[in-house]
């Protein structure tokens, strides 16, 4: 009997890669997406697979189904998209979590929440361990995403305590790779698209703020390993690459790899933009036996190839 697995946000960047991985592992996959940021092109090659089913549905609305596992990835994840309709973003995180937790409770299914490093806000602790409770502005322009994800984590742990639900929570740090949306406002896709088009590369602030970049294949491996842990392990667990780069270093690396003639220009820093972001992955190493294996240069080369084909297609 094949395991029946629901992936919400399954047509998105991460969701589509996860659907592929689960099909390869012999699962029956239900991909749910409302296509606000998801793209049918990301999963078009899966539609002929008899064990793949696409469901057009918004997680804000209740739905009934029978499943064995749920990966809850549904939510706009880039500032451009989650600030476009901040109320809907919060509703997606909060109501989406409630609706998926209710399915898991009814089916006695295992459920994983894709949380985010944004729960740490602009951190006062560096690198960020899971025990750090964060420094988040609850009324700022990013709060719809940050606080929505924090509330979703609350709900997951309350459902565990109240209903003995089997839950997993992963906190995802910056991830990049093929199928990123070219206009999502994230730094890797922004820089690559600007470089390939020969436009100025826009760096916010002085470019000395740091991020850590995890290639998508490594991230998916970490998510699947988390779902497959013993019932006692709930997380939250950080998943990300602990190698840290400044925005200026990233911009220069992408100019070099693309052979672009683009200039680097500076723009004002957005409100509440964190100055540092780096995961402490001690827990992931210990419990999951996981750490990233794909370095920044190798991952960027694959991502640049993808965007090159997409922009010329």
pLDDT digits (tens, 9 = 90+) for 88-143: 999 999 999 999 999 999 999 999 999 999 999 988 999 999 999 999 999 999 99
CATH class of the domain defined by 4-176+214-242+278-293: alpha beta
Split at pLDDT 50, 70, 90, the class of 276 is confident
Q: Catalytic site residues?
A: 145
Mean pLDDT of 245-273: 91
> Does 142 sit behind a cis peptide bond, omega within 30 degrees of 0 on the bond before it?
no
pLDDT for the residue 275: 81
Sign of the torsion angle spanned by Cα atoms 160, 108, 26, 301: negative
pLDDT for the residue 96: 98
Maximal CA-CA distance, the chain: 58
Mean pLDDT of 242-251: 95
pLDDT for the residue 273: 72
pLDDT for the residue 77: 77
Please name every residue paired with 111 in a beta bridge, in sequence order, or none if there are none.
70, 167
The answer on pLDDT for 237 being more than 80 is: yes
Q: Do residues 101 and 165 touch, judged by C-beta distance below 8 A?
A: yes
pTM comes to 0.95
Mean pLDDT of 211-234: 97
The answer on pLDDT for 233 being more than 70 is: yes
Of 23-32, 71-80, 219-228, give the lowest mean pLDDT range. Answer: 71-80
The answer on pLDDT for 191 being more than 80 is: yes
Mean pLDDT of 281-285: 98
Mean pLDDT of 239-250: 96
Q: Do residues 10 and 31 touch, judged by C-beta distance below 8 A?
A: yes
* Interatomic CA distance for residues 182 and 191, integer angstroms: 10
Q: Which two tokens stand for residue 159?
A: 């459902």
The answer on pLDDT for 313 being more than 70 is: no
213 closest CA partner among 191, 245, 252: 245
* Residue found by looking up tokens 């090659």 in the block: 45
The answer on pLDDT for 256 being more than 80 is: yes
* Residue found by looking up tokens 């600007």 in the block: 194
Q: What is the pLDDT of residues 204-215, one digit of tens each?
A: 889 999 999 999
Of 37-41, 100-104, 165-169, give the lowest mean pLDDT range. Answer: 37-41
Q: How far is CA 137 from CA 128, 171, 189, 271, 298, in A?
A: 17, 18, 26, 10, 35
Of 19-23, 122-126, 215-219, 224-228, give the lowest mean pLDDT range. Answer: 122-126
Instruction: Pick the more confident residue, 79 or 209.
Output: 209
């Amino acid at each position: 009997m094949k395991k029946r697995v629901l992936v919400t946000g399954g047509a998105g960047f991460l969701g589509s890669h996860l659907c592929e991985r689960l099909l390869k592992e012999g699962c029956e996959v239900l991909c749910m997406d409302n296509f606000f940021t998801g793209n049918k092109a990301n999963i078009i090659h899966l539609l002929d697979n008899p064990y793949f089913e696409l469901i057009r549905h918004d997680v804000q609305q209740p739905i009934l189904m029978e499943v064995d596992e749920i990966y809850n990835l549904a939510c706009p994840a880039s500032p451009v998209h989650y600030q476009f309709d901040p109320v809907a973003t919060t509703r997606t995180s909060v109501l989406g979590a409630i609706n998926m937790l209710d399915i898991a409770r009814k089916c006695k299914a295992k459920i994983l929440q894709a949380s985010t490093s944004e729960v740490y806000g602009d951190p006062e602790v560096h690198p960020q361990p899971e025990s750090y409770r964060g420094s988040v502005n609850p009324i700022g322009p990013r709060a719809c995403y940050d606080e929505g994800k924090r509330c979703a984590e609350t709900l997951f742990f309350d459902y565990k305590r109240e209903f003995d639900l089997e839950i997993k929570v992963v906190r995802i740090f910056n991830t990049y790779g093929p199928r990123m949306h070219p206009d999502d406002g994230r730094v890797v896709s922004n820089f690559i698209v600007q470089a390939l088009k020969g436009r100025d590369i826009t760096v916010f602030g002085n470019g000395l703020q740091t991020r850590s970049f995890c290639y998508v294949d490594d991230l998916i491996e970490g998510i699947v390993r988390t779902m497959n842990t013993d019932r006692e392990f709930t997380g939250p667990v950080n998943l990300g690459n602990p190698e840290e780069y400044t925005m200026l270093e990233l911009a220069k690396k992408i100019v070099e790899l693309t052979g672009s003639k683009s200039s680097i220009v500076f723009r004002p820093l957005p409100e509440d933009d964190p100055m540092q972001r780096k995961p402490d992955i001690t827990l992931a190493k210990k419990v999951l036996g996981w750490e990233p294996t794909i370095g920044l240069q190798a991952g960027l080369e694959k991502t640049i190839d993808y965007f090159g084909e997409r922009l010329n297609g």
